[in-house]
Amino acid sequence: MNPIERIYRIDQLIHQRGCVRFDDLLADLEISRATLKRDLQLLRDRLNAPIVFDRERGGYRFGHANAGPQYELPGLWFNDREVLALLTMHRMLQDLDGGGLLGPHVQPLIERLDSLLGSATGSSTELRRRVRIMGALKRPVSPENFELIGHALVERKRLDLTYYTRSRGESSQRQLSPQRLVHYRNTWYLDAWCHRSHSLRVFSLDAMEQVRMLDRPAHEIALADVESLLGEGYGIYRGRGLHWAILRFSENAARWVRAEVWHPRQRSRVLDDGRYELRVPYANSAELEMDILRHGEQVEVVGPQALRTAVAERLMSAARHYCVTAQESDSEPGN
């Protein structure tokens, strides 16, 4: 039983029995006398528990609370591994929450955990300092925009903004009703109803400029409908009307790909020759094509034919670009 579980158990026993003898606590907790004394002291000094020793009854009970901070145990309790996991998530939150939307609400919990951990696991501050989360290819969002979008999401208000569509290289004015924030592959996205296209779309927060919240209620869509309308395809731009990609990886690549989750509904099998077959649903193939290409010659696109063609065209385009670049380099003076 770890220190946190013991504290909770002591509190529970005294509340249930009214008064508990020292030896009974020792027997129930199966700890040494010195450890029990430290736990009782922690309850009194750090958690403000009004525990007193009743000489007439020969045990510990709760007395009247002092005028100081109120005694209250948190509703959730964690074992040591869960505490370490939570501290790790706190470190991740610091990197993810660029606008400070969530961090202030988590900090009081972290401070309470710091006091409960004490010397049981060493310094929790030192632990957080030594847990490093590295975000590759991160597209940062300005803190002002992130906080404004978050408030509009919570308060169910519309947003007015300028949106840059990278695929067309164009900017346009949009009015959005935010439905859900999504963090995917180090990038923040907003699932929102677009009042310009009259449809549910996915927008990248880093492509938003001149964001302001309107004093108009957002167009409401149930979250279950958001999931249904966006579908369950591959990647962030999921869509509906799914196709199934059939990919076969070489035996060498299979050692890594077998441990990866490309999609929650993926299907896979190991072939007789050691290759690995992976099937994933998709609607918009653009993101899937890029993930396929990073495996190079180690993957074969078995189907559908449209996906095979799209990947082949990307490869041919890359080859043509390489040849042109090489020719220009060779023609430069001094080469």
How many CB atoms lie under 10 A from the CB of residue 316?
10
CA 216 distance to own-chain centroid: 30
> Which residue in this structure is represented by tokens 């042109």?
324
The DSSP annotation for 236-281 comes to SS--SS-EEEEEEE-HHHHHHHTT--S-TT-EEEE-TTS-EEEEEE
DSSP class of 90? H
Q: Is the pLDDT of residue 313 over 80?
A: yes
Per DSSP, 30 falls in state T
How confident is the model over 92-106, as a mean pLDDT?
56
Assign residue 18 a region (left: φ > 0; alpha: ψ between -120 and 50; beta: otherwise): left
> Quick one: pLDDT at residue 284?
85
Q: What is the pLDDT of residue 3?
A: 75
pLDDT digits (tens, 9 = 90+) for 216-271: 999 999 988 888 878 777 777 677 778 999 999 999 999 999 988 898 889 999 99
Backbone angles phi, psi at 204, to 5 degrees: -85, 125
Check residue 43 and give its pLDDT: 87
Instruction: Give the separation between CA 202 and CA 190, rounded to whole angstroms.
Output: 6
- Quick: pLDDT tens for 14-72: 988 999 999 999 999 999 999 999 999 988 887 788 899 999 999 999 987 654 556 66
- Name 34's Cβ contacts closer than 8 Å, sequence gap at least 6: none
- pLDDT interval class at 126 (50, 70, 90): low
Task: Of 42, 45, 43, 40, give the one whose Cα is nearest residue 59.
Answer: 40
Helix or strand or coil: residue 335? coil
pLDDT at 133 over 90: no
Handedness of CA 301, 302, 303, 308 (dihedral sign): positive
- Low-confidence winner among 174-183, 268-277, 322-331 (lowest mean pLDDT): 322-331
Q: Reply yes or no on whether the pLDDT at 80 is more than 70.
A: no
Cα separation values, 246 from 55, 278, 311, Å: 76, 6, 13
Residue 140 per-residue DSSP state = -
Q: Look at residue 325 and tell me whether its pLDDT is greater than 90.
A: no
